[in-house]
Amino acid sequence: MHSRVSQIGFWQHSKVFNKVFWSTFVLVAFCTISVAVVYWIWDHPYGTNWDEARYINRAYRDVAFFQDGGLFQLFQGLVSEDRSRPPAYRILVLPFSLLFGTSTTLLRVCAWGFWGATLGFVYLAGRAIAGPIAGAFAALFLLVCPIAIGPNMRFYVDYPLYLAIAATFYFLFRDWNRETPSRYNWIGLGIALGLGGLAKPTIIFTIGPVLFLALVLSWRRMITTPTPKSLIQASVLGFVLMLPWWVFNWKPAIAKAFLSGGFVRHSIASESFFDKTLGLLYVFSQTMLGPALTLLAIGIVVTFLAQLQRQKFQIEIGQLTAIAACLMGSLPLLLMALVKDNHNPRLYNPSLLPLAIAIGILAVLSYWTKRRLLAAIATALIVFQVAVIVTPTPGEPQYKAGDLASKQLLWGNPTSVLRRLEQWDWSLLREVAQQQGIHNPLIAYLGNDSNLNPPQIAFPWVKNNEPARVTWLWNSVTGDIDWEKVMSTVKLSDLVITVPELEGDAADRSDLDNQYNGELVERLQQDPQFAPPVPLKLGYYHPIEALVFVRQSGQPSETAKDILLLDIY
């Protein structure tokens, strides 16, 4: 690969920006962010939202399965409970939970550790196509994406999916257009595909098009490897590995995948397709990449296209087809956002893995990693974004206050990735129930917040392997409030919770769910079945008062068979 390069000034190739520099850069950045992440994890002993709290509860329940009934009951629980979510996120952390004891901290540290392994596979995939600098740049680019940090320092279902996608690209590119392919590479590819199938159905939109493209390219002999035979072998192996779970749960899993796409709380309010597109581009630049990485990505792509048009270099067929494979793995999932109602950027995060690999390859081909000026600009932009992510806001007790833009975005932007969040200790509620002699309580609540949801409320019972039931009295998505229905549920509940001063977050429309909290308090204070409310002070930074009403008389909650109980696992 040759090009005319100026021998003086900033356009000269620099010996400073070499393999050692970029490899060291990514390691230092990962360690820096990891220190801040571990500090954040230590500060948050409970789940931060409905989803994470539910997955944490599930991890506790899996350990209880094993301790109560051994491997058989554990396998039964993996297959027959939480049937809409493939079990990889439960399986990978289980050995650590059994060895060290389950805790929110352990689960999150494990998830972050697997994220480190994911970055390692991204590095290896980029290195296989364009050398170690491309791999290091790809891993560095992905590491600094805000939406990559936020979910991976929490315990979500996604971390096995990221690992599977990165491993799939590595094993694909390890044999990409090679004269002497590895004999057993298909086994690693098959295991990666199997892990992806046991992680999340989203894998089909990311890896499906890539495998199809690889099969066509190999069939038409545009690339020599991987061969059609090895791709088919890997696909069969992956199918066999995921089959034991999917054969029992394919129907609820697919139904959940389609239901998730229509979750309107996370949709972008828009009056036209054009407005929606602009809104998604804004979210992509703020939340998924961050402003600095957005500028860097645009610069790399524009430079590459300009140099390609001016024939500044010759691109090999293996590199060109690898870039195409990365785009095939990235674009379908991103384009789905245009036709879906759920615009939670976490759902489209997997598209960043192949995109980062492509950016790493393009950065090397367009000399962004070698020419003094370009490499200096890339370094400055990345350092700036890392600094914004990890440095505290002066005088702010919550460490990262975040700018105004971040407060209007579901996952914020680089200024708010490490923002400390309020944590409500619901063990105080369990103490109230124990003092009243209430076992297996039916708990009803009104309102909505990242700390006010069924898995969060039930966590103290789950942690102690005790039963609890939770129902939500009303939420704005279901329409206007029906007080007759609400109060009929209240009269059958053991404990009723609401937070009169709670406002909620406009980003997920929880503010609408809190508009009747005060009125419920007024109604319960006039109901002779309930004792005066027990106040609970919840929260660290801005404590808020939750009111707990304990039922003194009426039908026992065991008779409440028609009440919709929400899943706490």
User: Domains of the chain: which residue ranges?
Assistant: 9-390, 427-559
Cα distance between residue 268 and residue 116, in whole Å: 31
Could you give the strand order of the β-sheet that contains 469-472, starting from the edge strand earlier in sequence?
469-472, 442-446, 495-498, 544-550, 534-538
pTM over 0.85: yes
In the prediction, which pLDDT does 261 show? Answer: 78
Tens of pLDDT along the chain (569 residues)?
334 333 444 556 778 899 999 999 999 999 999 999 999 999 999 999 999 999 999 999 999 999 999 999 999 999 999 999 999 999 999 999 999 999 999 999 999 999 999 999 999 999 999 999 999 999 999 999 999 999 999 999 999 999 999 999 999 999 999 988 888 999 999 999 999 999 999 999 999 999 999 999 999 999 999 999 999 999 999 999 999 999 999 999 999 988 887 777 788 877 788 899 999 999 999 999 999 999 999 999 999 999 988 877 789 999 999 999 999 999 999 999 998 888 999 999 999 999 999 999 999 999 999 999 999 999 999 999 999 999 988 877 778 888 888 888 889 999 999 999 999 999 999 999 999 999 999 999 999 999 999 999 999 999 999 999 999 999 998 899 999 999 999 999 999 999 999 988 777 788 899 999 999 999 999 999 999 999 999 998 889 999 999 998 766 766 677 788 999 99
CB of 121 closer than 8 Å to CB of 169: yes
Q: State the helix-helix crossing angle for 159-174 and 352-365, rounded to 10 degrees.
A: 40
CB of 340 closer than 8 Å to CB of 261: yes
Amino acid at 275: D
In the prediction, which pLDDT does 3 show? Answer: 40
Beta-bridged to residue 470, according to DSSP, are 443
For 427-559, which CATH superfamily applies? Periplasmic binding protein-like II (3.40.190.10)
Evaluate the CA torsion angle 514, 515, 516, 519 in order and state its sign: positive
Cα distance between residue 500 and residue 479, in whole Å: 21
Per-residue DSSP letter, 2 = -
CB of 162 closer than 8 Å to CB of 118: yes
Beta-bridged to residue 538, according to DSSP, are 544
In the prediction, which pLDDT does 103 show? Answer: 98
